[in-house]
């Protein structure tokens, strides 16, 4: 079978998926259809938002399906009409069995982690939040339980000390596109040797990567400085770690909510560290006490209702109470 003979249907939604779709199209593969999320209202004007995969498919005349329900009979019949040999899924919803079992060559997924490490919705975030020094991308055949299928191909990449999740995302997006192409080539040649994830677990549990919620992003200043630094890195630039600036002398005053995008760990003398969350402002620097008599400096932040800025710029315009603390 040649790349022109192989009929592929591509499932995906965000920019992360577009890189792989573009790689397939640019390399001459026969992508006969794409499946993405329905358009939805977004922003203050509630203008209909089109997914990046839809925008790419429309621009390249790829037939497109946007099902609301993945078990809908009309959608299933439309999917069958493509008569595809292979489905590829990247950053999409969980597929029902009637869908992923449809193509004769199977359905494979590209996942942004070194499975079985970080199964779940937010693998890139959790790799950075947990202070990992490497991550990667994995392709695997789908099965009933999410992110548990047999591994096809895998590539590793270093996480640098000051990388944030945006940096790692972009690196994995490009690496993932290459791995997607590599996996399809091996499927065509028939020389893949899928490896069950159980063989890599060695009797241990898989590492979870659950969805990120608002409370996940709130900083606990009782934690040690490196933990907080990694949390900020793992949530920057989106959705961003956050905290509240309070006035110790006026507990009834409304706190100022800030998103924090960049920090640095610092060394303070014991007399400078009071309690976790206490804010020290000096010479345009914002330093916050953390657990275990440690401290962290806030370098970039965004006050509620304003734009992202450096700490020194924020301090020039802010009127912070003398006894400010973060909580």
pLDDT per residue as tens digits for the range 127-156: 999 999 999 999 999 988 889 999 999 999
What would the mean pLDDT of 254-260 be, rounded to a whole number?
A: 96
- Which CATH superfamily hosts domain 7-201? Formyl transferase, N-terminal domain (3.40.50.170)
How far, CA to CA in Å, does 278 sit from each of 100, 124, 257, 296, 314?
Answer: 53, 31, 15, 11, 18
Nearest to 132 by CA among 236, 242, 234: 234
User: How high is the pLDDT of residue 1?
Assistant: 81
What is the band of 269 on the pLDDT scale with cuts at 50, 70, 90?
low
Helix (H, G, I), strand (E, B) or coil at 18: helix
Tokens (6 digits) for 113: 């982690």
Mean residue pLDDT across the chain: 94
β-partners of residue 153 are 139
What is the band of 248 on the pLDDT scale with cuts at 50, 70, 90?
confident
Nearest to 57 by CA among 81, 35, 79: 35
- Which one has a higher pLDDT value, 138 or 203? 138
β-partners of residue 156 are 136
pLDDT per residue as tens digits for the range 45-79: 778 889 999 999 999 999 999 999 999 999 999 99
Tokens (6 digits) for 98: 């009637």
Helix (H, G, I), strand (E, B) or coil at 17: helix
β-partners of residue 218 are 242
The answer to which of 85-99, 137-151, 260-274 has the lowest mean pLDDT is: 260-274
Residue 270 has pLDDT above 70, yes or no: no
Contact 78, 103 (CB under 8 A): no
* β-pairing verdict for 241-247 and 324-326: antiparallel
In the chain, the percentage of residues whose pLDDT exceeds 90 is 83
Residue 243 has pLDDT above 70, yes or no: yes
β-partners of residue 298 are 263, 286
CB neighbour class for 78 (10 Å; exposed up to 12, middle 13-18, buried from 19): middle
β-partners of residue 10 are 34, 88
User: How high is the pLDDT of residue 322?
Assistant: 82
Residue 239 has pLDDT above 60, yes or no: yes
Element at 326 (helix H, strand E): strand 324-326
What is the band of 271 on the pLDDT scale with cuts at 50, 70, 90?
very low
Residue whose pair of structure tokens reads 């209702």 in the numeric block: 305
User: How high is the pLDDT of residue 2?
Assistant: 84
Element at 138 (helix H, strand E): strand 134-141
The answer to which of 2-11, 190-199, 247-256 has the lowest mean pLDDT is: 247-256
The ranges assigned to domains in the chain are 7-201, 215-326
Residue 25 has pLDDT above 50, yes or no: yes
Residue 309 has pLDDT above 90, yes or no: yes
**What is the rounded distance in angstroms from the CA atom of residue 113 to the CA atom of residue 87?**
20
Strand ranges (E), 13-114: 30-35, 40-42, 47-49, 64-65, 86-90, 107-111
Helix (H, G, I), strand (E, B) or coil at 97: helix
Element at 30 (helix H, strand E): strand 30-35
Task: Specify the CATH number of the domain 215-326.
Answer: 3.10.25.10
The answer to which of 6-10, 102-106, 178-182, 315-319 has the lowest mean pLDDT is: 315-319
Report CA torsion sign: 95, 101, 104, 107. positive
Contact 29, 6 (CB under 8 A): yes
- Which one has a higher pLDDT value, 321 or 210? 210
User: How high is the pLDDT of residue 282?
Assistant: 87
Residue 12 has pLDDT above 90, yes or no: yes
User: How high is the pLDDT of residue 134?
Assistant: 97
């Amino acid at each position: 079978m040649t790349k022109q003979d192989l009929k592929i249907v591509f499932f995906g939604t965000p920019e992360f998926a577009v890189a792989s779709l573009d790689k397939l199209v640019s390399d001459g593969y026969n992508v006969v259809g794409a499946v993405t999320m329905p358009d939805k209202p977004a922003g203050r004007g509630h203008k209909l938002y089109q997914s990046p995969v839809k925008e790419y498919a429309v621009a390249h005349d790829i037939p497109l399906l946007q099902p609301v329900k993945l078990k809908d009979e009309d959608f299933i019949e439309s999917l069958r009409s493509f008569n595809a040999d292979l489905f590829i899924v990247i950053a999409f919803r969980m597929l029902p069995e009637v869908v992923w079992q449809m193509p004769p060559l199977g359905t494979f997924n590209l996942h942004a982690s070194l499975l079985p490490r970080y199964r779940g919705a937010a693998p890139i975030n959790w790799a950075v939040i947990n202070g990992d020094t490497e991550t990667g991308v994995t392709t695997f055949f789908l099965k009933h339980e999410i992110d548990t299928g047999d591994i096809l191909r895998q590539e590793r990449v270093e996480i640098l000390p000051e990388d944030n999740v945006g940096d790692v995302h972009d690196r994995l997006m490009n690496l993932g596109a290459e791995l997607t192409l590599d996996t399809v080539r091996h499927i065509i040649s028939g020389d893949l040797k899928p490896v069950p994830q159980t063989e890599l677990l060695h009797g241990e549990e898989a590492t979870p990567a659950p969805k990120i919620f608002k409370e996940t992003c709130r900083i606990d200043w009782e934690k040690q400085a490196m933990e907080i630094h990694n949390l900020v890195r793992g949530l920057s630039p989106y959705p961003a770690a956050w905290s509240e600036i309070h006035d110790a002398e006026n507990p009834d005053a409304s706190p100022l909510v800030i998103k924090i995008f960049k920090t640095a760990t610092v060394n303070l003398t014991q007399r400078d560290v009071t309690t976790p969350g206490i804010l020290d402002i000096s010479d345009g620097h914002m330093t916050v006490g953390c657990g275990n008599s440690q401290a962290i400096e806030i370098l970039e932040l965004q006050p509620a209702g304003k734009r992202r800025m450096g700490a020194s710029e924020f301090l020039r315009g802010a009127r912070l109470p003398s006894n400010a603390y973060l909580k």
